[in-house]
Amino acid sequence: DSGVTQTPKHLITATGQRVTLRCSPRSGDLSVYWYQQSLDQGLQFLIQYYNGEERAKGNILERFSAQQFPDLHSELNLSSLELGDSALYFCASSPQVPVQGAVYEQYFGPGTRLTVT
């Protein structure tokens, strides 16, 4: 158990709908990362937050947005859902201050499996 929790574990919804995925980082971790894992694209970085501020952005669609709250939990909002958004969504956290040139272990949660029908 990594200490990162994600809810819900599974989500089934229809095209055009909006969903919110929730992540609680490990105790004391300030950085939160969101990843999408699909069969065709593999594991792809979406976005990173550090202590409430956006720090890095990947190929995140405009229909997707995220935020990190003062208690450090994070939410990933997916709107106008399409069939192709069906995937596993992982949240990861790391403890240290993000510093250029450094790498810190990212602890991954169990993921949320999203199915869009």
Binding site for another protein (CB under 8 A): 2, 4, 31, 33, 42-45, 48, 50, 55-56, 58, 90, 92, 94, 98-101, 103-111
Measured from the CB of residue 116, what is the shortest distance to another protein in angstroms? 20
DSSP class per residue in 6-56? EE-SEEEE-TT--EEEEEEPPTT--EEEEEEEETTTEEEEEEEEETTEEEE
Q: In the bound complex, what is the minimum distance in angstroms from residue 55's beta carbon to another protein?
A: 5
Looking up tokens 């949660």 gives 109
Residue number with CB closer to another protein (75 or 79): 75
**Residue (73 or 79) nearer to another protein, CB:** 73
Q: Give the tokens for residue 15.
A: 């095209």
Q: Report in angstroms how near the CB of residue 15 gets to another protein at its nearest.
A: 25
Distance of CA 39 to the CA centre of its chain: 17
